[in-house]
Structure 1
Amino acid sequence: MRIGYYAHHHGSGHCRQADKLAALLPASSRKNFIVFTSLALDAYTFNTVAKSQIVRLNPEGEREDDVLLGRAGQHWQPASLHYSPVGNSDIQTRSWQILNAIQEHDIDLMIIDVSVEVAMLCRAASVPYLYVRLAGIRDDTPHLNAFAGALGLLAPYPKTLEAAETDDWLKQKTLYLDFLPDKNSKSISYNEFIASFANLTDDNERNKVSSKLTRQLNISENSKQKPKIITVIKGYGGHEAIDAKLPELRAMQPKALIISLGPIADDKRAYVDIATQVVDVSPFLMHSDLLIMACGLNGIAQAYHHETPLVVLPDERPHREQEVMAAALIAQGRALSWQQFVEQSNSTQNTDSLLTLSAKSDIYQTRNNLNIKTAAQALMDSFIDYTATKSWFEKWLLPQLNLTPERINNKNKL
């Protein structure tokens, strides 16, 4: 089967998810995986998808010559769409680009990550699609219509992190893919990790870090004691809320080596030992004693299967996506809220006792058992095993979901 993947342009995460799925295909089959996106060229560099397989779409923003604005209010826009300007020449061109590319590349099935409007365009044009269902509460009419119009739904997270409020029919129609691993991440030893600090700092910071490692923490080359390392990870979607916690974090952990990855306010740099940006955060996930981060999908996907204790500070996002994810992680015992962290820090100065995650075998065993095929791998393999969408839908997808639509058996309804 030939797969089209629509990747939304808000952030690089949607293109990164497409890249991860493409990496699960054998190299000989990746030519059948086409990405549709309007993300800027310099915003993300694909690792497994060739330039010839990327359809660069027109923008979809409002224009001064729009006949009707995209959100014109009740009685002026369809309830099935979030955003639907009238007379917008960019969107007209974009719609033709999508449909023409589907025909040109002979796409059998679209994966839409995410756009209600692209989903409705595909459904109206009778193009089969799967819809990526992100975390959070998406029970508005446009989302429900996009979900209903899909052959199936894909959740890029484990079922254990599903929101309790999610309707049963949505859960049943969803394939839970778990968090996809980043095959480009690197594994380095602890000593290599410590040595890498020299490349992350300028001369003043390097002296500061060296002093903390050797004097405050009494570390020497022959000592078996390790410094306590706390890594704070922030994205560009918003870092102010986490930055605001840095003075309190420093007060609670005065001897810890605190590393800030990502953007940071100038007036908060004094509360951390290293402030930098890195391409690959995996060494920090592996070797830190504590992680503090928001609940963006890609960040949690990288941290979830490591045993490093995690404190979550969810950002405000539409549909409560980070708040819901944080609540699920806390309920599962994989993370602490900031308040829980403060309370436990006040009762102990030993970060190691904050969480005992080694006992959470249900989190780690599946990922570490190489004999178990992941749901994401099974999905991508199915696109190779079946050459026609109809047979794939009836013989592979529906048995996975345990569903039978009316067109196959009128006695059974979704």
Structure 2
Amino acid sequence: MIGWYVHHHGSGHEARARTVVPLLDTDVATFSSRPLDIEGTTSHRLPLDVEPPATAWHAAQPTPDVLHYAPLGVDGLRRRMGTIASWAATTDPAAMVVDVSVEVTLLARLLSIPSVVVRQHGRRTDPAHRAAHEAASLLLAPYPAWLEEPWVDDDMLARTVHCGGFSRFDQRTPDHDRARADLGIGADDRVVVVLSGEGGRMGWPVHDAAAATPGWRWVVLGDVRPRPGLVTPGWVEDPWAWLCAADVIVTHAGHNAVMESVGSGRPVIVIPQDRPFDEQRHKALLLAEHEVCAVRDTWPAPTSWPALLEGSADTGSPHAQDLVDGKGALRAADAIDTFVRTTRGGCS
């Protein structure tokens, strides 16, 4: 048995679990504040830990540099960590996969559980991240080695398995023409699909870009307010057909959104949003450097969009298959299974 912790912010952490867990040879217990129901696993719903501290004194106590979030006097945090500790005390787990949390990684170490920590982009050189990376027994990067951060030292690299990019759509074959037919999109229609994401509000003036490009049909997927000139299907649980049907995809630089968009084989424009540790901006710079996607630091002016769309549609994503080759999830599962066998004294 292994544990798998899924952070509740955004949908990418859950998507990774849903993609990799079914491929494992190991029994899995999941832990998250998100309502997870992955077939074949035991699910533990964790309470949220966002209520105010019990007293003003608790609230005034500083957080040690080695932690990101550990307020005193918060009952939800106590019950959250207690759920994991109680499970560990009665299960004798072989490992804990953490995606992502400094505090859960350190808790696993204190509970004497080897941990596999999923890495993310961004400038994660602060004391808390360093402690988590040092406490981890294995680091798992859901991207190829050539998309690695330049600040990562040799020790981290030696303990990191780069499994390559992957998404829940790895086993699907992109079919541009069929997707357009299924969605009722004409052969001559030029379509831009915009991914707004779950991890934060989009805040992009898409309607201005649409007004500046009358030859293009703009489709915005996500929980956004309808506006004249935009097609807004709302939150689409399975956006694969829309991605495949697009002439150009516009997305933020969230990990899941990038992997799904690039995996569709369509041209992708990435516009990073503000996130802790500049995660999206770091990833976007690397994507641009390796010519995987077109990247713009901020939302372009309306007058820039006609040429940007034309150029992206013409050049596509030259190195898309190098990032998402359809085997990343299998490599991630194999790395975890191999690690579990190692912790149990088996052959690696």
- The TM-score range, normalised by the shorter chain, is 0.7 to 0.9
Is residue 322 of structure 2 the alignment partner of residue 363 of structure 1? yes
Q: Give the aligned residue type for 2:99.
A: D
Partner of 1:313: 271
Deviations, residues 364-389 of structure 1 (Å, cap 9, x unaligned): 7x726x7x9952142144267x2x61
After superposition, the Cα gap between the structure-2 partners of 1:106 and 1:390, relative to the gap in structure 1 and judged at 3 Å, is closer
Question: Structure 2: how far apart are the matches of 1:181 and 1:109?
Answer: 23
Q: C-alpha displacement at 1:180, in angstroms?
A: 2.6
For structure 2, the 5+ residue unaligned runs are: none
Q: Secondary structure at the match of 2:325?
A: helix
Normalization by structure 2: what TM-score? 0.86
Contact 2:220 2:233 (C-alpha < 8 Å) held by counterparts: yes
Q: Secondary structure at the match of 1:367?
A: coil
Q: Secondary structure at the match of 2:257?
A: helix
Q: C-alpha displacement at 1:166, in angstroms?
A: 2.8
Is residue 332 of structure 2 the alignment partner of residue 376 of structure 1? yes
Contact 1:109 1:130 (C-alpha < 8 Å) held by counterparts: yes
Partner of 2:214: 254
* The structure with more helix, counted as a fraction of residues: 1
Q: C-alpha displacement at 1:56, in angstroms?
A: 1.8
Partner of 1:17: 16
After superposition, the Cα gap between the structure-2 partners of 1:188 and 1:361, relative to the gap in structure 1 and judged at 3 Å, is closer
After superposition, the Cα gap between the structure-2 partners of 1:317 and 1:188, relative to the gap in structure 1 and judged at 3 Å, is closer
Identity %: 25
Contact 1:16 1:46 (C-alpha < 8 Å) held by counterparts: no
Matches within 5 A, 1:45-84: 45-50=36-41, 53-66=42-55, 68-69=57-58, 72-73=61-62, 77-84=63-70
Q: C-alpha displacement at 1:285, in angstroms?
A: 2.1
Aligned residues, how many?
Answer: 345
For structure 1, the 5+ residue unaligned runs are: 199-208, 214-224, 397-414
After superposition, the Cα gap between the structure-2 partners of 1:79 and 1:33, relative to the gap in structure 1 and judged at 3 Å, is same
Question: Structure 2: how far apart are the matches of 1:308 and 1:238?
Answer: 24
Partner of 1:172: 158
Q: C-alpha displacement at 1:179, in angstroms?
A: 2.2
Q: C-alpha displacement at 1:164, in angstroms?
A: 2.3
Partner of 1:103: 89
Q: Give the aligned residue type for 1:270.
A: P
Q: Give the aligned residue type for 1:72.
A: Q
Q: Which has the larger radius of gyration?
A: 1
After superposition, the Cα gap between the structure-2 partners of 1:64 and 1:78, relative to the gap in structure 1 and judged at 3 Å, is closer
Runs of 4+ in 1 over 6 A off after TM superposition: 339-342
Q: Give the aligned residue type for 1:57.
A: L
Normalization by structure 1: what TM-score? 0.73
Identify which range, 164-173 or 120-129, moves more after superposition. 164-173
Matches within 5 A, 1:4-403: 4-25=3-24, 29=25, 32-39=27-34, 41=35, 45-50=36-41, 53-66=42-55, 68-69=57-58, 72-73=61-62, 77-182=63-168, 190=176, 192-197=178-183, 213=186, 226-242=188-204, 244-251=205-212, 253-266=213-226, 269-338=227-296, 345-346=306-307, 349=310, 352-353=313-314, 355-357=315-317, 359-360=318-319, 363=322, 367=325, 374-382=330-338, 386=341, 389=343, 391=345, 396=348
Greater relative contact order structure (CA < 8 Å, 6+ sep): 2
Question: Structure 1: how far apart are the matches of 2:19 and 2:261?
Answer: 16
Q: C-alpha displacement at 1:182, in angstroms?
A: 1.0
Indicate the RMSD between aligned Cα atoms, in angstroms: 3.1
After superposition, the Cα gap between the structure-2 partners of 1:248 and 1:120, relative to the gap in structure 1 and judged at 3 Å, is same
Question: Structure 1: how far apart are the matches of 2:329 and 2:209?
Answer: 43
Contact 1:231 1:290 (C-alpha < 8 Å) held by counterparts: yes
Contact 2:116 2:138 (C-alpha < 8 Å) held by counterparts: yes
